[in-house]
Amino acid sequence: MDAATQFARSQEIAGNIAYVWGRRIRNAHKQYEKRVGKAVNDATGIEPGATSQPVARLDPLSAWHYAVDVAQRSLLFWDTMRERGTQYVENASQGLKPVLHFEYEVVLDGRHFARPVNYALLRIRPPEGVSVDAMKRPYLIIDPRAGHGPGIGGFRDDSQVGVALRAGHPVYFVVFFQNPEPGQTLLDVCAAEQQFVKKVRSLHPDSAKPAIIGNCQGGWAAMMLASSSAEDTGPIVINGAPMSYWSGSWSEGAGDNPMRYAGGLLGGTWLASFSSDLGNGRFDGAFLVQNFEYLNPANTLWDTYYRVYDNIDTEPPRFLEFERWWGGYYLMNREEIEWITRNLFIGNKLWSGAVRGVAGKAFDLRDIRSPIVLFASMGDNITPPQQAFNWVADLYGSTEEIKARGQVIVGLMDQESGHLGVFVSGKVAKKQHAQIVNVLETIETLAPGLYAMLIDEIKDAHGNAGYDVTFVEHRLEDIARHFNRFKREDEKPFEAVAELSEFNQRAYELFVQPWVQWMSNEATARWLREMHPLRSQRWAFSDLNPWLGWLRPAADAVRANRQHAADIEPWRRLEHCGSELISASLDYYRAMRDAGAESLFFSVYTNPFLLQFAERYRDREAAAATATDPRELPFVKEALASIEEGGYDEALARAAFLLARSGEPLPLARLATQKELMEAYAEYLPKLPLDQWRRIRGEQELIATYEPQQAIATLPTLLSTPADRTRLLTLLDRLLADARVQSLAPSAQQWDALQRIRAVLGAPPAARPVAVLEHARP
């Protein structure tokens, strides 16, 4: 690209930066004014537009009662902080354990493998009153290793573990220990997880392949596992997983995603190496947790603690339970964190096939043969939907390639949940995760393609809530345009970041790393870890501190004499107003800070000089220069070239698509009818593994889509024997007479296709309408 073109593109990106920055600032002002106005109205009781206002009773007696309440809540609050610190000290001294709500037993301990890793496979014991069926598909859940410990996927009864157990499925959980084994790498971890899934299969030989559930970092770990052990893994469900780390919601209406800019603003991967060297070869997960807390200063500095203070009589148990997980910090080897930052956070290489396993074979996500469910949330500012979904467009390139490869990809979206809520919230577990478990077998029967999974809440005659699931097929190209307003131009600068990161990493390793490693040892590393602010604020305010000896008995005395005056409500409203003003101000600061960081990032990395690095790294424009006519795509050409190749299986798949109700949503009730018909007419259906059948269906769909006339005309070639023709026609006749099929009125297109298929096969016209043959598809 010449200098003039680079300069013009730099100016275009600068214009987009200014536009988005302006929208960010205006939205921050608007949200701040809205929250301040509402807080004042709630405190005074004045409704917008009201001509009079109620008189609050702020007399001296109620003020005294409020002062007593404040003193009591303050003492109980600080005692709760003391309990948190003491809990941290006790857990750290005993060795951090999974925070699973359920009992479990260890099946495999990776510390005893030939290449030891600090991972283990657990079998979850069902709680009392819950029974599991060993013949049902087992579930294998992989939690994130991103600073915290394992167990959050089974943190409470309403969780991923809970909904799977209540559905009768055996559940296994992958956990890890606080300290990594010497020399272990992420590739060793992946090899260990391959052994875990093989073990689960051996324990359930007569069950369907295990479903793999991956949360956040565990999501891309699950994808690596599935691509390297495709023969052992069933459907993959990844929740809030940053598969395309360069992507983000860079649009006027969406929020910021500040974490994706951190690597560029800090100069790349060298800082992770530096932190690991200070830790004597181990990276402290507390730094990752600190990054999470940095994202939301209002919650970190105020909201979390004020919620405890405001509800001091009920909130401490929930707070302490969560802090047991949030305050447990785990370590990684230098090799692990460097692999993650270079290949995922900065390099964005997982989907590209540039990452290789222990045996040297590249992780090709297209090798995954089972359906993939992607769950993300619009409220997630750590893993926005673009990071969860864009890898599909990068990997497959077109809808036609997804179909030709026989892949089923289902997207599920939540509108409000934050990052942790995607795999922690009890509400999400009872809705999204429970429905995923309920429909996973149904998803395996879908035709190849990209689908949206819609969940609508319904209520029966007695008012009990339930859910109705519908699948809607979409084109990949439409979804990519919908989620990426500026056609992913915002990802260009990250290519420059990757190049600059490599330069900085080499410079650090050459000039600085030897000195840092020479000065570091286990004693200094341990001291630095203990003095980390997230740890020191806990152990310093615990029973280890002799100056706090008075706090517990004083808090016990307050609990025994707790007063709840009824006349302090006006004062509490003023207190809530003040709290809301503080929270709103911190959110306003965050919005301005993130908008400034985003603007600074793009201003630095879109100058013509650094854009040259981007061109050297990868010319995405050339890679994306695909044919505008889908017929010219390689997979479509290959499918059309094989229009006369195949047999009964190909003919059935082709006829099924021609007779399908195309373009309509697929409610769960219709899919349930499809399953019933599959079982009723199994003798006429192919005896193939589901992944092979999906590939055949995808290829035949391409043929029938782009050459519908020729697709019907060549059916006799595929059905070369009278027995095959009779078999297909018999299936059509039996479906024609089935009451479940007759209940659906056929469209004109379906009726015409049926008559033409019968004619080309030498059969007389159908005597009455027939509904959809899609119900008979495996």
Tell me the pLDDT tens digit for each residue of 251-260: 555 556 888 8
Q: What percent of the chain has pLDDT over 70?
A: 92
Please tell me the distance from the alpha carbon of residue 272 to that of residue 284, in angstroms, as a whole number: 10
DSSP secondary structure string for all residues of 641-693: HTTT---HHHHHHHHHHHTS-TTS-EEHHHHHHHHHHHHHTGGGS----HHHH
Residues 6+ apart with CB under 8 A from 81: 541
Residue 175, classed as helix, strand or coil, is strand
Mean pLDDT along residues 399-413: 94
Range in 2-11, 149-158, 466-475, 639-648 with the lowest mean pLDDT: 2-11
Mean pLDDT of the chain: 88
Helix, strand, or coil (residue 452)? strand
Q: Which segment, 431-445, 632-646, 666-680, is predicted with the most confidence on average?
A: 431-445
Least confident of 176-185, 301-310, 323-332, 460-469: 460-469
- Interval 575-593: pLDDT, tens: 999 999 999 999 999 999 9
Q: Which token pair is 177?
A: 């220990």
Whether 48 contacts 612, CB under 8 Å:
no
Q: What integer pLDDT is reported at residue 609 of this predicted model?
A: 73
The residue type of 463 is G
| Mean pLDDT of all residues in 369-398 | 90
CA distance 241 to 142: 12
Q: Please report where in the chains the tokens 């026989």 appear, as a residue.
A: 406
> Token pair for residue 713?
């005309």
Rounded Cα distance between 280 and 278, Å, is: 5
CA distances from 116 to 112, 229, 356, 633 (A): 6, 20, 20, 46
Distance CA 631, CA 645 (A): 19
Is 766 within 8 Å of 734 (Cβ atoms)? no
Structure tokens at 737: 């007479």
Pair of tokens at residue 202: 């051996």
Complete edge-to-edge strand list for the sheet that includes strand 372-377: 104-109, 119-124, 171-176, 139-142, 211-215, 236-239, 372-377, 408-414, 449-459, 465-474, 666-667
All CATH 3.40.50.1820 domain ranges of the chain, comma separated, are: 104-251+333-491
Asked if residue 522 has pLDDT above 60, the reply is yes
| Residues whose CB falls within 8 Å of the CB of residue 222, separated by 6 or more in sequence, listed in order | 142, 212, 213, 214, 236, 237, 238, 241
**The pLDDT value given to residue 50:** 53
CA-closest candidate to residue 370, choices 555, 564, 234: 234
Q: Which of 11-15, 167-171, 557-561 has the lowest mean pLDDT?
A: 11-15
CATH architecture of 104-251+333-491: 3-Layer(aba) Sandwich (3.40)
Report the pLDDT averaged over residues 504-524: 96
26-63 pLDDT per residue, tens: 889 999 999 999 999 888 776 555 554 554 567 888 99
Average the pLDDT over 452-456 and give the result.
94
- 431 or 631, higher pLDDT: 431
**Percent of residues in the chain assigned helix, strand, coil, to nearest 5:** 60, 10, 30
Q: Is the pTM of this model over 0.85?
A: yes
Asked whether the predicted pLDDT for residue 486 surpasses 80, the reply is no
Residue 452 has pLDDT above 80, yes or no: yes
In the predicted model, is pLDDT for residue 280 greater than 60?
Answer: yes
195: confidence class by pLDDT, cuts 50, 70, 90: very high
Banded pLDDT at 777 (limits 50, 70, 90): very low
